[in-house]
Amino acid sequence: MRRPSSSATTEPTAAQKGRNLRTLRALLPYLWPAGETWVKRRVVLAMLALLLGKLISVTTPYVYKRAVDALAGPAPDAAAMLGLGAVGLTVAYGLARLGTVGFNELRDAVFVRVGQRALRKLALETFTHIHRLSMRYHITRKTGGLSRIIERGVKGLDFLLRFMLFSVGPLILELTMVSILFAVLFNVWYMLAVVVTIWVYVTYTFRVTEWRVQIRRDMNTQDTDANQKAIDSLLNFETVKYFGAESREAQRYDGAMARYEGLAVKTGQSLSILNFGQSFIITAGLIVVMVMAAQGVQAGTLTVGDFVMVNAYMIQITMPLGFLGTVYREIRQALVDMGDMFDLLGQPAEIIDAPGAPVLKASKGEVVLDHVSFGYEADRAILRDVSITVPAGQTVALVGPSGSGKSTVGRLLFRFYDVTGGALRIDGQDVREVTQQSLHDAIGVVPQDTVLFNDTIYYNIAYGRPEASQAEVEAAARAAKIHDFILSLPEGYASQVGERGLKLSGGEKQRVGIARTLLKNPPILLLDEATSALDTQTERDIQDSLKAMGQGRTVITIAHRLSTIADADCIIVLEAGRVVERGRHEELVEAGGRYASMWARQSSEEEAESQAARESGRAAG
C-alpha cells in the first residue's frame, strides 16, 4: 500500500493548497449568492448574533470575578459594579451565560435555512451535471464511487458552511479579545503566556492533523473501493448465483475491508497521539498562568476574584481550543471531499449544444449517415466511411457480427458521441447543430434489455411522457399487449417492479419498455436487438407489437436474429465497420454473399433447435 512521504504528511503541497483555495472560492457563491437578498440578510443577522454572543461571553468571567470579590472580602469597589451586590452580580453572571447560549442558538436558527438551501442547490447542481456528462465518462467511472463522492461532498459543504463561519472565525476573535484583556487587566506576561500556549497548540494540531489527513485520504480511497465491490456484486446478483461465487465475492469484499481496517486502526491510534499532545500543551499553559496569578494573590497585587477570573478565562479558551482540533481535522477532510466534488463539477461535458442551437424539426424522420467515421479511441476505428439512408417511414435493419459497429450507429444517432468524420443528419439537419433535448425527443428506443426504475409499472410506462393522462398510459399498455397482465396483478398499475425491473420477466419488461416508447410517440424508432435476449415464443409475440409500433415511423432495427428483419425495407450488412452489402432480404439471399451465409447458418441452427424441441415433446408424450 502507498505510504506518504514525511514531508507530505506534515505540510500540504502547493497543489493541495491551491486546490483548497479553489474549493473555498467555489464555496462563496453558496454563502453569498448574487441576486438572493434574503440569503445575504440571514448571513448578516447570523453574524451579528455571533458577535453579540462573543462579547457577552468574554465579559462573563469578569462579572464572575466581581461576584467572588464581593463575597471574599472588603475590596473597595468589589460590589460597586452597576451598584449590584454579590447576589445581583451572581444573577448577572447567570444571565450573561444564558445570553451567550441564547445568541448562539439564534445564530444557528437564522443560518440553518442558508445552509440547507446550499446543500440542496449543490446536490441538484451535481446531479444535473452528472447527467450532462458523456457516455464515455460514465462507462469509465464506477457508479458506487460517484455516489460516495457526492455524499461526502454534500456533507463537506454543510460542515464548512457552519463551522468555518461559526467556529474558526469566532474562535480567533475570542482568543484575541482574551489576550488583550489579560494585557490590560494584568500585564503583558499573562498575554504572552496565553499567546505562546495558543501558538504551540495550533502548530502541533495542524502538523499532526496534516499527517492524519493523508491517512484519512487513503482510508477514503479504500472505503470507496470496498463500497464499489459491494455494489458491483449486488448488481450482478444473478451472475454470482449462476457461478456459485458467493464465497469468492465475500473474500473479495473482505479483502478490501481488511485494507480499510488497517487504515482505520492507524487513524484511531494517531487520534490518541493528537489528543494527548493537545491536553499536555493546554494543561502546561493553564498551570503557568495560574501559578502567576497565585503569586499575585500571595503578593497582594491580585484578589481572589482575579485568580478565579484567570482560571475562568483559561477554561473558556481551552474549550474552543479543544474543539479547534476536531474542527481543523474535519475542515481538512471536508476540503478534500469537496475538492473531489468540485473536480467532478469541473469535469467538462464532451457533448454540448452548439451556441444558439435550434430545435430539431423531425417532420418526416429521414435519417442519413453521410460518410460517417467514428472510433471510441483515436487509434481504433469502429465505423469507416459508412453511408446509410433511412427514408422516412421505412424500416432499415443493421446486421453483422459482434464488433461490426451496429450498436455504435444507435449511440451516434442519440448523439451519445460525436462522429469523427462525415455527418449524421435527420431531415437534413446535422444532429450536432440541434439541441440534444429535441434530438432525444424525436427518437424512441427499445433496447436489448429494458432497465426499469424501482417504482410502479405506471411510473415506468408514464416515463415516456410524464404529462400523459392515465387513459393514455393504459392505451399504450394495450398497444404493447401488457394491459391485461397488469390488471391481473394484485395492485395493478401500482405494482412495484423491483430494482432494474427484476420482479418482471424478460418479456414483461420488454413490453413495459415498448409501452413507454409508444407513449412517447416519436417519429424515429430504434430497436437495438430488442428481442435477442428472449425465448423464441416470447420473441414472436413481441415482434407483433414491434411491427405494429413501427407503423408510420422511421425504424432502425439492430438485429442478431435475421428472421426478425426479413421483411425490412432494406438490410445493411456491416463488417469491420464498413457496409459490405445492402438490399432486401430476397435480393441478399440470391446474391450469395455475406448475408446469405449468415442466413443459411442461422436457418440451420433454428431448424436444429426446432427438431430437438419436437423430439423432446414426443419423448415427454
Range of the domain at 430: 360-442+523-621
Rounded to two decimals, the pTM is 0.65
Q: Are residues 435 and 470 in the same domain?
A: no
Cα(204)–Cα(445) distance, rounded to whole angstroms?
Answer: 61
Q: Which of 574, 188, 180 is nearest to 382 (CA)?
A: 574
Residue 4 inside a domain? The answer is no
Q: Are residues 517 and 534 in the same domain?
A: no
- Measured between alpha carbons, how far is residue 367 from residues 44, 434, 526, 564 in Å? 58, 14, 11, 21
In this structure, are residues 134 and 351 in contact, taking their beta carbons and an 8 Å threshold? yes
Asked which of 321, 345, 369 is the last residue of a domain, the reply is 345
pLDDT at 85: 72
pLDDT at 380 over 70: yes
Cα(458)–Cα(191) distance, rounded to whole angstroms?
Answer: 71
pLDDT at 8 over 60: no
Asked which of 468, 497, 521 is the last residue of a domain, the reply is 521
> Would you place residue 7 in the very low, low, confident or very high pLDDT band (cuts 50, 70, 90)?
very low
Residue 569 inside a domain? The answer is yes
pLDDT per residue as tens digits for the range 162-187 = 777 777 778 788 888 888 888 888 88
Residue 12 inside a domain? The answer is no
Between 134-148, 266-280, 310-324, 384-398, the lowest mean confidence (pLDDT) is in 134-148
In this structure, are residues 375 and 412 in contact, taking their beta carbons and an 8 Å threshold? no
Q: Which of 199, 179, 204 is nearest to 189 (CA)?
A: 179
Burial of 7 (0-12, 13-18, 19+ CB in 10 A): exposed
pLDDT per residue as tens digits for the range 18-48 = 777 777 777 778 778 888 888 889 988 988 9
pLDDT at 431 over 90: yes
pLDDT at 11 over 60: no
Percent of the chain with pLDDT over 90: 22
pLDDT per residue as tens digits for the range 468-492 = 999 999 999 988 888 999 999 989 9
Residue 330 inside a domain? The answer is yes
Cα(181)–Cα(309) distance, rounded to whole angstroms?
Answer: 11
Element (H, E) at 606: helix 594-620
- DSSP codes, 307-340: HHHHHHHHHHHHHHHHHHHHHHHHHHHHHHHHHH
Count of domains forming the chain: 3
Q: Which residues pair with 226 in a beta bridge?
A: none
What is the average pLDDT across 398-416? 89
Report the half-sphere exposure of 434 (CA within 13 A, side-chain side): 22
pLDDT at 585: 92
pLDDT at 370 over 90: yes
> Average model confidence (pLDDT) for the chain?
83
* Grid cell in block for residue 101: 447560549
Burial of 558 (0-12, 13-18, 19+ CB in 10 A): buried
> Would you place residue 534 in the very low, low, confident or very high pLDDT band (cuts 50, 70, 90)?
low
What is the average pLDDT across 318-338? 74
The percent helix, strand, coil of the chain (3-state, each to 5) is 70, 10, 25
Read off the CATH number of the domain in which 464 is found. 3.40.50.300
What is the average pLDDT across 362-378? 90
Cα(182)–Cα(192) distance, rounded to whole angstroms?
Answer: 9
Residue 350 inside a domain? The answer is no
In this structure, are residues 450 and 509 in contact, taking their beta carbons and an 8 Å threshold? yes
Q: Are residues 386 and 486 in the same domain?
A: no
Residue 610 inside a domain? The answer is yes
**Which of the two residues, 135 and 476, has the higher pLDDT score?**
476
pLDDT at 514 over 90: no
Q: Are residues 609 and 468 in the same domain?
A: no
Percent of the chain with pLDDT over 70: 88
pLDDT at 156: 81
* Grid cell in block for residue 54: 462573543
What is the average pLDDT across 107-135? 83
In this structure, are residues 275 and 325 in contact, taking their beta carbons and an 8 Å threshold? yes
pLDDT at 617: 59
Q: Are residues 34 and 116 in the same domain?
A: yes
Cα(365)–Cα(372) distance, rounded to whole angstroms?
Answer: 19
| Count of other CB atoms within 10 angstroms of residue 572 | 25
- DSSP codes, 370-438: EEEEE-SBTTB-SEEEEEEEE-TT-EEEEE-STTSSHHHHHHHHTTSS--SEEEEEETTEEGGGS-HHH
pLDDT at 609 over 70: no
pLDDT at 9: 38
pLDDT at 293 over 80: yes
What is the average pLDDT across 82-95? 78
Q: Are residues 424 and 503 in the same domain?
A: no
Q: Are residues 421 and 334 in the same domain?
A: no
In this structure, are residues 589 and 596 in contact, taking their beta carbons and an 8 Å threshold? yes
Q: Which of 135, 145, 132 is nearest to 348 (CA)?
A: 132
Q: Are residues 247 and 174 in the same domain?
A: yes
Cα(621)–Cα(613) distance, rounded to whole angstroms?
Answer: 12
Q: Are residues 292 and 427 in the same domain?
A: no
**SS3 category, 573:** strand
What is the average pLDDT across 295-303? 88
Residue 303 inside a domain? The answer is yes
Q: Are residues 178 and 291 in the same domain?
A: yes
What is the average pLDDT across 273-302? 89
State which of 39-43, 233-237, 310-314, 431-435 shows the largest mean pLDDT. Answer: 431-435
In this structure, are residues 68 and 137 in contact, taking their beta carbons and an 8 Å threshold? no
**SS3 category, 141:** coil
> Would you place residue 1 in the very low, low, confident or very high pLDDT band (cuts 50, 70, 90)?
very low
pLDDT at 533 over 90: no
pLDDT at 77 over 60: no
* Grid cell in block for residue 558: 439492430
In this structure, are residues 397 and 559 in contact, taking their beta carbons and an 8 Å threshold? yes
> Would you place residue 10 in the very low, low, confident or very high pLDDT band (cuts 50, 70, 90)?
very low
Q: Are residues 601 and 512 in the same domain?
A: no
Report the half-sphere exposure of 132 (CA within 13 A, side-chain side): 16
Residue 8 inside a domain? The answer is no
CA 484-489-495 angle, to 5 degrees, is: 110
pLDDT at 390 over 90: yes
Read off the CATH number of the domain in which 134 is found. 1.20.1560.10
Asked which of 298, 322, 345 is the last residue of a domain, the reply is 345
pLDDT per residue as tens digits for the range 572-597 = 999 989 999 999 999 999 998 999 99
Contacts of 496 (CB under 8 A, 6+ apart): 454, 455, 456, 503
Q: Are residues 155 and 279 in the same domain?
A: yes
